[in-house]
Structure 1
Amino acid sequence: MEIETKTRTGKILKLLNIVAWIAFIGFMVEGGAMITSFLVSCISPEGAKHLYKELNFYDLKQFSFWHYTVHIYFLVLLALLKAYVWFLVMKILSDINLTNPFKWEVANRLEKIGYVLFITWLVSVSNGAHADWLQKATGVQYGNEPMGEYLFMAGLVFIISQVFKRGIEIQSENELTV
């Protein structure tokens, strides 16, 4: 780990690395718990009443096992995409060097986070469209996942990655002139 803990910034980054680990583990557990509860509900129909986070999709499963499966798939995929974003954040925080922060690895990971957040937005929009259709078909609301935030974050992180890339260019120009 290259984070220097002597400075205030180094301590903050170390703390953020711990937070990133917690978020990563939390979203992995959420995805795994959703998969497990889905498999249990396939064996026992009553299991659909007591999914992870007190979700009750029993009526949806009775309406259509296919739509039930698709909805669970979206929820699992969203949890795993969020976990992957936090994994990439952990990689950035563990690789960052405060004396020379502008590295291609950091810029590329930031750009990758932007792309993964954009994909997360696409999955979230797809899930929202499916949930809206289900609400019209069944009269029950099955999701209220926020969508716009992922697109906003994707844009913001992508802009930051481009600033990092420009910082790398300036840094390499300065190294060549010295």
Structure 2
Amino acid sequence: MLGRIFAWLAAIVIGVVLGAASAWGALQIGRTNFAEQYGGWHFNRAAGSVAAGPYTRAIIARDGLLALSAREALYFTIFTDDQGRPLSESCVYELTGRDLDARWWSVTLYADDSFLAMNNDHEHSVDASRVSYSADGYWRARIAPVKGDAINWISSRAARRGFSLTLRVYNPQRDFRPSEQSLPLLSALSCAGGA
């Protein structure tokens, strides 16, 4: 009788451990393996839809993304630079893009804990109403701990290593098609200490 109780307890403990490990793995791997990828941008069509499965919903809840339906907003997230390295506060990046075929768009930086970086720069994002365009029709934003001579700037001060950028495209036009050409390009300009 006692042996049976221990067998049941062992089975329960093993089930809980395997279930927790499975959920952890799906959330960690799923974060960077969204359904579609355009350049470095990850995109999940199920975000904000009734088709979102439990793991998609868990990833969205963990990252604090309140996802609207795809008719209202599309969400793209980038975790690495053009060299495939995790984004780091010790680097200076340039984000380059054209106006997106949508009512409005924004790009916001989230620190490694998926919250806004804890600094008092008040420069967590750029958006369609605040960027300045150059003569070639592109806007450029510097992502760095200090603004320097940048016109458009997103502060990465206190974002640490492993931060992300989220592009939100609100009310995209029916013919909007994400692609490497239509989404902004992120380039690493320099890294302190060769990071």
Q: Normalized against structure 1, the TM-score is what?
A: 0.30
Which one has a larger percent helix, Structure 1 or Structure 2? 1
Between 1 and 2, higher relative CO (CA 8 Å, sep ≥ 6) is seen in 2
Which one has a larger percent strand, Structure 1 or Structure 2? 2
Q: Normalized against structure 2, the TM-score is what?
A: 0.28
